[in-house]
Amino acid sequence: MRKRKKIRLKKQVKLVLCLIVFIILAIVIGKSIYKDHVYKNSYEYKLEVHGYSADEVKLLIKNLSNKKLDELLESEKNDVLISLLKEKYFLKKNLDRYLDYYDKHKQTELSQIIAIVNVYADYETYEHDIDTDINKDELILCNKYYKLSADYEPDDLVQMNSKYYYGDSQSVRQEVYDAFIDMWNAANEEGIYLIVNSSYRTYADQDEVYNSYKDSYGEKEADAVAARAGYSEHQTGLAIDVFSKDNTSRATFKESLAYSWLEANAYKYGFILRYPEGKENITGYGAESWHYRYVGKDVAEYIYENDITFDEYYAYFIEK
């Protein structure tokens, strides 16, 4: 009797154990089937199957909306898009405009497209106005898209000592003046006598400058060499047109020793060459070997070392 009871008990235990094992297995397998189902429906999986590498998939998911990802899955692998996403100064908010610009200018390098779109140069000049943020202090951006109001005037303008300029008297913001004197002294020690011939201009001054060009050469030519009132950096009190005592010619200043010295050293004092050669499509201006802009030492150093314009710097580091 006792023996039979024992056997029955053993059988029951076995049954319960089997049932537990079965339930556990069912849960584990079920979970893995579910996981597999979720994974196969994920963008990670679909994009990888579509030919994108794991790194590319990460980039795409980080920067594209689900709607865009769906569209992407309906067309062939988009290598241009991937290259754009890998560009150093890529901004997510500009993606559609990059692609648009690429469609119309397939020969343009992608880094150029990024720069052009970031600074709004994919719009016509003077047709996409943004009121510039005057609270940015020495980093105020003023160009053919970012404008100043007619009554904007910096509140810390100082008159320059007459030894630093020729022609009409000149003024700049205090911080710019201090930096300029440091730069002037350093250049002077190397036998170079820097001299300013234009600095702060009021809105009315600029209007006069622009209109005199316009009257003589017409609007197109005037726009190539001068800013319209409200769009000139000279109204910020942060820009100077600087030459040397022995060369004040716009035509030949670039060949002077002073120009070479400024090109190599100005950034150490917080100044940048604002309209360099080769960047005309970004800055909107022909090269000006004499126009320097104060942005402070750190920003000037970055711009100098990375060979970008202030417009690009502003778009990527300040505005975004």
Kindly list the catalytic residues.
288
Least separation in angstroms between residue 206's CB and Zn ion is 10
Residue nearest to Zn ion (CB): 291
- Residue 144 vs 291, nearer CB to Zn ion: 291
What x/- string results for residues 199 through 238 when contact with Zn ion is judged by CB under 5 A?
----------------------------------------
Which residues between 105 and 144 bind Zn ion (CB under 5 A)?
Answer: none
Least separation in angstroms between residue 291's CB and Zn ion is 4
What x/- string results for residues 15 through 54 when contact with Zn ion is judged by CB under 5 A?
----------------------------------------
Chain position carrying tokens 């397939």: 106
Least separation in angstroms between residue 282's CB and Zn ion is 17
Least separation in angstroms between residue 240's CB and Zn ion is 7
Give the binding-site size for Zn ion (rule: CB under 5 A): 2
Tokens of 33: 């089937």
- Residue 56 vs 241, nearer CB to Zn ion: 241
Tokens of 315: 């778009």
The binder of Zn ion chosen from 259, 291, 293, 315 (CB under 5 A)? 291
3-state SS of the chain is CHHHHHHHHHHHHHHHHHHHHHHHHHHHHHHHHHHHHHHHCCHHHHHHHCCCCHHHHHHHHHHCCHHHHHHHHCCCCCHHHHHHHHCCCCCHHHHHHHHHHHHHCCCCCHHHHHHHHHCCCCCCCCCCCEECCHHHHHHCCCCCCEECCCCCCCCCEEECCHHHECCCCCEEEHHHHHHHHHHHHHHHHCCCCEEEEECCCCHHHHHHHHHHHHHHHCHHHHHHHCCCCCCCHHHHCCEEEEEECCECCCCCHHHCHHHHHHHHHHHHHCEEEEECCCCHHHHCCCCEEEEEEECCHHHHHHHHHHCCCHHHHHHHHHHC
Please choose, from the candidates 284, 238, 314, 234, the residue with its C-alpha nearest in 3D space to the C-alpha of residue 127.
284
- Residue 101 vs 145, nearer CB to Zn ion: 145
Q: Does 279 bind Zn ion (CB under 5 A)?
A: no
Q: Does 176 bind Zn ion (CB under 5 A)?
A: no
- Residue 147 vs 291, nearer CB to Zn ion: 291
Q: Does 241 bind Zn ion (CB under 5 A)?
A: yes
- Residue 114 vs 303, nearer CB to Zn ion: 303
Cβ atoms of 146 and 128 closer than 8 Å: no
Q: Residues for the chain: how many in total? A: 320
Least separation in angstroms between residue 61's CB and Zn ion is 46
Least separation in angstroms between residue 198's CB and Zn ion is 6
- Which residue stretch of 18-26, 88-96, 132-140, 283-291 sits at the interface with Zn ion (rule: CB under 5 A)? 283-291
- Residue 57 vs 300, nearer CB to Zn ion: 300
Which spans of this chain sit near Zn ion (rule: CB under 5 A)?
Answer: 241, 291
